[in-house]
Amino acid sequence: MDLREKIKNKSAKVGIIGLGYVGLPLAMEFAKEGFSVVGIDVSREKVDKLNQGENYIIDVNDNDLKWAIEKRLFRATTDYSVIKDVDAISICVPTPLRKTKDPDVSFIIAATEELAKFVHKDLIIILESTTYPGTTRELVLPILERSGLKVGRDFYLAFSPERVDPGNPIYKTKNTPKVLGGITKNCTEMAKLLYEQIIEKVVPVSSTESAEMVKLLENTFRSINIGLANEMALMCDRLGVDVWEIIEAAGTKPFGFMKFYPGPGLGGHCIPIDPFYLSWKMKLLNYNAKFIELAGEINSSMPEYVVTLVADGLNMKRKTINGSKVLIIGVSYKKDIDDTRESPALDVMKLLEARGANLEYHDPFVERIVLNGKELRSVDIDENKLKSYDAVVIITDHSNIDYQMIQKYSSIVVDTRNAIKGRYENVLKLGARRVVGL
């Protein structure tokens, strides 16, 4: 049967490499549309959990996973040889930065090397991992073409940037427009046909490089604007005005302004990392991405600023960070999710611990973390517990936390998210005038 027909009648078999925040939701969308899906992951623990119907991704419905397994529309494996029997495969592996802020594409290369052992005619391959422009053509394609198969004729290669926003109640995989670009026109057409079966809107672009650049523009835009908001917060603090009030007032303008908020630093798997993929690539072309570097400098300095707020608050009580008992509220990188990747809370905690603070944390979504090799577990909070701390620091403003209780019973609160509305003598806010006389 022709590959196009197999896609249209949903008899095509789909493989997903990488069963994390991107891969597993994508696998579920294919399964819900009737495609037979096999997920491949190097983690035996993940594979075993999924095959037993145990879900670990917040954006995947537990019942959807169990249903897909019961209907034999989804299974997980560590065995790449299953690629021999699939018609399309999406690569959804991590792409972190090294400490030197150079791209680490080792996961992409490793997945592609394994895939290349089983590549066959009439196979659609789509890379979704965020990376620098040129990765699909310069790294992935040569590995696949060792097989002797010709791209655009024997197999189809495209790039489609993931646009996952963990915990977003409105936009999920299905209703978030999908950008994609192929190595050839045929590659674009085949990838588009595949994703049109599960995504409400597919947006083709002219090349893999264009598709790769789209994702970097999106997250560079956010990083730079958050950097501007953070610098505004630092300036407002010195000017004696409230940045939160100013942002809300500016947001009433019906055109030419978009609200971005300051915070304790950037977190997550995209915004702190993706712009530096582009910056690194441009350095190879003898160009310095000034906005990216400056925004990165400002955003990465925010945890230090938060620590100065904690020190100021404690000083007003004639205390020091050294020896103080400090509670961190929220350790995930954003509200109402359990993801701690690149979370600014961890940076703030490391800085406070280095200055001698005794740390505990409360997060209803994160049961345990490892900080400097030591395991910490979330503590419960109540009136008496809050009174026992010298300072409470709100890093992540989860919706199900009682901030009025925190304000009422805490000696000092450092609020980095404007979680506590209004002005109180015991609350120091990021980017707001300092209250003297605590």
Domain extent at residue 282: 230-429
Q: Across all residues in the chain, what is the average pLDDT?
A: 94
DSSP 352: H
Same domain, 189 and 308: no
**How far apart, in whole angstroms, are the C-alpha atoms of residue 299 and residue 372?**
22
Confidence tier at 267 by pLDDT (50, 70, 90): confident
Same domain, 258 and 180: no
Domain end marker among 171, 206, 241? 206
pLDDT given at position 172: 94
Crossing angle between the packed helical segments 208-239 and 243-250, to the nearest 10 degrees: 130
What average pLDDT score do residues 401-423 get?
A: 96
In a domain, 436, yes or no: no
In a domain, 88, yes or no: yes
In a domain, 266, yes or no: yes
In a domain, 222, yes or no: no
- Please classify residue 425 by burial: count the beta carbons closer than 10 Å to its beta carbon, then call 0-12 exposed, 13-18 middle and 19+ buried: exposed
Active site residue 270: yes
Domain holding 287: CATH number?
3.40.50.720
pLDDT given at position 25: 96
**How far apart, in whole angstroms, are the C-alpha atoms of residue 230 and residue 400?**
25
pTM: 0.92
**How far apart, in whole angstroms, are the C-alpha atoms of residue 156 and residue 158?**
7
Domain count across the chain: 2
pLDDT given at position 290: 94
In a domain, 404, yes or no: yes
Q: Cα 287 vs. chain centroid, distance in angstroms?
A: 27
- Is the pLDDT score of 436 beyond 90? no
Same domain, 201 and 234: no
Tokens 């209907």 identify what position?
71
Residue-wise pLDDT for 338-358, tens only, equals: 999 889 999 999 999 999 999
Same domain, 267 and 308: yes
- Is the pLDDT score of 99 beyond 80? no
**How far apart, in whole angstroms, are the C-alpha atoms of residue 333 and residue 329?**
12
**How far apart, in whole angstroms, are the C-alpha atoms of residue 33 and residue 402?**
41
- Please classify residue 170 by burial: count the beta carbons closer than 10 Å to its beta carbon, then call 0-12 exposed, 13-18 middle and 19+ buried: exposed
Residue-wise pLDDT for 285-316, tens only, equals: 999 999 999 999 999 999 999 999 999 999 98
In a domain, 438, yes or no: no
Confidence tier at 437 by pLDDT (50, 70, 90): very low
Same domain, 152 and 249: no
What average pLDDT score do residues 319-328 get?
A: 97
Same domain, 201 and 253: no
Residue in 383, 380, 373 with CA at minimum distance from that of residue 407: 383
Same domain, 42 and 88: yes
Percent of the chain residues topping a pLDDT of 70: 98
Residue-wise pLDDT for 117-171, tens only, equals: 999 999 999 999 999 999 999 999 999 999 999 999 999 999 999 998 888 889 9
In a domain, 225, yes or no: no
Same domain, 190 and 246: no
Residue-wise pLDDT for 105-130, tens only, equals: 999 999 999 999 999 999 999 999 99
In a domain, 211, yes or no: no
Same domain, 156 and 68: yes
Same domain, 202 and 261: no
Same domain, 127 and 248: no
Crossing angle between the packed helical segments 290-316 and 274-284, to the nearest 10 degrees: 140
- Is the pLDDT score of 49 beyond 50? yes
Same domain, 88 and 134: yes
**Which is the catalytic residue, given 92, 187, 236, 270?**
270
**How far apart, in whole angstroms, are the C-alpha atoms of residue 236 and residue 301?**
16
